[in-house]
Structure 1
Amino acid sequence: MKYHTRPTALLLLADGTVFYGKSIGISGTTFGEVCFNTGMTGYQEIFTDPSYFGQIMVATNAHIGNYGVNTDEVEADRVMISGLVCKNFSFNYSRDKAYGSLEEYFEKQQLVCISDVDTRALVSYIRDHGAQNAAISTDGTPLEELKKQLAAVPDMEGLELASKVSTTEPYFVGEENAPYRISALDLGIKKNILRNLAKRGCYIKVFPYNATYEEMKAFNPHGYFLSNGPGDPDPLIAAQEVAREILKHNDPLFGICLGHQVIALANGIPTYKMFNGHRGINHPVKNLLTGEGEITSQNHGFAVSKKELLEHPDFEITHLHINDETVAGMRMKSKNCFSVQYHPEASPGPHDATYLFDQFIENINKNEKAAV
């Protein structure tokens, strides 16, 4: 079988630690920040999530590829991860809705991957030592040469990546005669976010990451949306200025993940690089407004400063991550603005938080009534 003839591959961490395994996908070398996702399903949505651009993904689920791939289950038109690390890779798949194998998909997408790695040991190591840059090599590049190449890879902190995944031209989603028009800033937007807005009666114009407020306002929207995306939010100066302009006019604003962080920065509230970040589909969050718990899908390596947020007179925390009490949601007291650090559209993940899209529509309706 092909499984037994695959060449040896290695994963090199920035601190010099090496894990060995077998090659999947194409032969080559790839670099990125190594992180792990604890989701037990939804690997295709994870691999195509633009928020993972520039990252090497470690799958904690022991079996990857067992249900193949389906082109309807992607969050972008291409694979976004820099590489994959897994334990058991399934070359055979079993699902009626599958269009092909994950192996074929990786080969078409030119992805470098490594399997047969002790992922439990690797994840434990990352938990203890933090996320760091890494390299996967499947082509026999000497270890010392890999170390030199890896040392030249920039750290995620301070790295602007939204421009690498954003659309270059505006486009539309939904029905043109829908009751609501939304201007969305694409910092790495997921397709299922757009689907959730469209099915709630929104006609969305999606703008590039560097669009101006004037360009977005020209669509005459009922509300504005700032999307998820990869990298450090701090360098996104143009997006922060867009957020400030939206808030100055008190237009309805909703932000998710990177968009949530951009809103904080636009108001002088800093963000910081987390030791490991949150990546998975079973993260517990407490809604402080209702007292209810939510199981959420999360994917972020940066977070909003809780201390600075609590000290800001115009903000209140609406959601907290139960495991570490980091900020999971916030809203402004004097503006029509709220945001969350997690993914209410799931894909993959639970649907506990889809009500947030309804809340956005309710805010738009209130704003329209107030304007009459």
Structure 2
Amino acid sequence: MTKNIVIIGGGHAGAQAAASLRSDGFDGRVTLVSAEREIPYHRPPLSKGFIKAEGDELQELRPAAFYEKNAVDLVLGSEVTAIDRDAGLVRLGADSLPFDGLVLATGARVRVPPVPGIDLENIFLLRTAEDARRLKRRFAMARDVVVVGGGFIGLELAATARLLGKTVTVLEAAPRLMGRVVAPAISAYFLDLHRAMGTTIRLETPVHGIIGENGQAVAVETLSGERIPADTVIVGVGVVPNVELAEAAGLHVANGIVVDEAMRTSDPRIVAAGDAVSFHHWALGRSVRLESVQNAVDQAKTGVAALLGKGEAYRAVPWFWSDQGDAKLQMVGLSNDANSSVLRGRPEDGSFSVFHYRDDELVAIDSVNRAGDHMLGRRMLGSGFQLDKAVAADEGVDLKKLVLAG
């Protein structure tokens, strides 16, 4: 019988796992271990509103009283050093916690590119609240900011820096912004948006190194040898899943902690959820690893159900968002295997969507300042509703009425 469940990780997946255990009726001991000292908090605001806000208050996912009321033991500021599957113990240095069930919500860390100068003092990565506090203090004195990476985090911080009056240059090695996850029309729109804000965007510009003086970065050198002045360098070139604990414990790992359709690892006593998880996607027909709050929360719910003997297949439709300047980008579904797309609305009007199709099947929607399209998209993809391409492109058609009628 499961009496002790330990959750490793204090992000969105870990916090949801704790809440779901209690709401699903588990009455044994629940312990959440986090390397961070803060009560689990909302992470997306760190690259957006938190940097601009006057105070350093975090948006807690649930108040401290929730954990006390639901008898969830929080072990904060503690690093898990090993998982002893044979003994059923989670090791925390000299201490240990017994487990009958285990939730791995270990998340991911920022990828550190192997370039000279990356260890200079005024180089910034953003993943945790402490990272955000450090960057916020730096922004108070920064003048010339160089952002390495034209993905979500880099562009969100670039927009924030411009709004704070900094000189900003974004260096992206690929031919377009956010090229791994959005349609070309979306990339082009945000390229124009950031340039209109006064940000210099350099595409197809790999970084060769960071130039320092007296331990401080003073410029970023591109592969072509150009040096761009910088007193603050932000690196946002993706993340690496935290799989080391799982791998050392003998669990199956391949670009993430490998799980079955109910989030069970190769040890059925252990489930995993969130950014560190690799799972077989039912629609794409291959293994994927997703990095989003929605995915972390929904996988945690599925994994907890499996631990409690109620396992069902994970079938949640993924969705993502990014706020950059005055533009809200919202995405639903996965466009990886799409082979055609149609435009609804006009980018020049600042409000439009791209509907992605694999042959005639709607598989994803990218929306800019069109929350209605996004919400309808979540409903359509969740229910399997199919939308003809010509109808999707025709703004004369009331999509809401059509979807509700279907």
* Higher radius of gyration, 1 or 2: 2
> How would you bin the TM-score normalised by the shorter chain?
0.3 to 0.5
Calculate the TM-score normalised by the size of structure 1. Answer: 0.33
